[in-house]
């Protein structure tokens, strides 16, 4: 699928295996989420637009660049929260806009419960952050919100996806690329990614 970008980076593969492991404890899990978000965010931002400029060095004038676009980091609560800090360190000027969306356990449909976006868009590019893309309902709902806000350059940065979720996003938002660490086999009857890693929110925040 043309919107799919699955990282081939050895560090991503190594860290993902550690993240998945059933014995990885909360603290280590949070560290790995942060590091993986940084690596995938780096790949997702490879086409940010630049303005050419010059910069004064101790030896003279060098050509240089500055970012042209304002970047928004949009974590989907809760699990996306752990992906913010690593990317924010790389792009300290980024704005962080939280979206609260949870998945109804019975219907598996997304339910929105928090959105404080101002009326006018304040960024040109948004990275939607959520480690898990299962049915894809939460991601599609988040992207719907951002497009309605007025942002057209949107990227989804996740860790593990099910084929069902990739398909749903591609159907609804074919213009949104998906930056992922892995595509897993399937969803089980409860809508969990198999083999996946369990519940990314619970494993980060110790709420299992």
Footprint on residues 70-99 left by ligand PRP (CB under 6 A): 76-79
109 an active-site residue?
A: no
Alpha-helical segments (H) within the chain? 10-20, 26-44, 84-90, 137-149, 163-172, 200-205
Using CA atoms, how far residue 154 sits from 50, 142, 168, in Å, is 17, 10, 16
184 an active-site residue?
A: no
The first and second tokens of residue 58, run together, are 């101790």
134 binds ligand PRP (CB under 6 A): yes
Nearer to ligand PRP, 72 or 201 (CB): 201
* Cβ–Cβ < 8 Å for 124, 151: yes
103 an active-site residue?
A: yes
Q: Which stretch binds ligand PRP (CB under 6 A): 36-44, 84-92, 134-142, 178-186?
A: 134-142
* % helix, strand, coil for the chain, step of 5: 35, 30, 35
Q: Which of 107, 109, 175, 207 is catalytic?
A: 107
Using CA atoms, how far residue 49 sits from 18, 71, 99, 146, 158, in Å, is 34, 11, 25, 20, 22
Spatial separation of the C-alpha atoms in residues 159 and 208, rounded to whole Å: 20
204 binds ligand PRP (CB under 6 A): no
144 an active-site residue?
A: no
In whole angstroms, the minimum distance from the beta carbon of 68 to ligand PRP comes to 31
Show the site string, 25-64: x = touches ligand PRP by CB under 6 A, - = not: ----------------------------------------
Q: Which of 24, 85, 103, 144 is catalytic?
A: 103
191 binds ligand PRP (CB under 6 A): yes
The residues binding ligand PRP (CB under 6 A) are 76-79, 102-103, 108, 110, 130, 132-139, 165, 191, 199-201
* Catalytic residue positions, numbered: 103, 107, 199, 202
């Amino acid at each position: 699928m043309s919107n799919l970008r699955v990282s081939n980076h050895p560090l991503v593969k190594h860290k993902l295996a550690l993240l998945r492991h059933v014995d990885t404890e909360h603290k280590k899990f949070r560290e790995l989420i942060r590091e993986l978000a940084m690596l995938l965010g780096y790949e997702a931002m490879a086409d940010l637009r630049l303005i050419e400029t010059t910069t004064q060095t101790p030896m003279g004038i060098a050509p240089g660049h500055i970012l042209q676009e304002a970047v928004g980091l949009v974590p989907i609560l809760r699990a996306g929260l752990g992906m913010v800090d690593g990317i924010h360190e790389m792009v300290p000027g980024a704005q962080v806009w939280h979206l609260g969306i949870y998945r109804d356990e019975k219907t598996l449909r997304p339910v929105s419960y928090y959105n404080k976006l101002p009326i006018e868009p304040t960024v040109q590019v948004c990275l939607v952050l959520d480690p898990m893309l299962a049915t894809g309902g939460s991601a599609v709902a988040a992207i719907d919100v951002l497009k309605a806000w007025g942002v057209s350059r949107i990227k989804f940065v996740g860790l593990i996806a099910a084929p069902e979720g990739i398909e749903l996003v591609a159907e609804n938002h074919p213009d949104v690329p998906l930056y992922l660490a892995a595509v897993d086999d399937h969803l089980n009857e409860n809508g969990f990614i198999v083999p996946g890693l369990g519940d990314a929110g619970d494993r980060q925040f110790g709420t299992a």
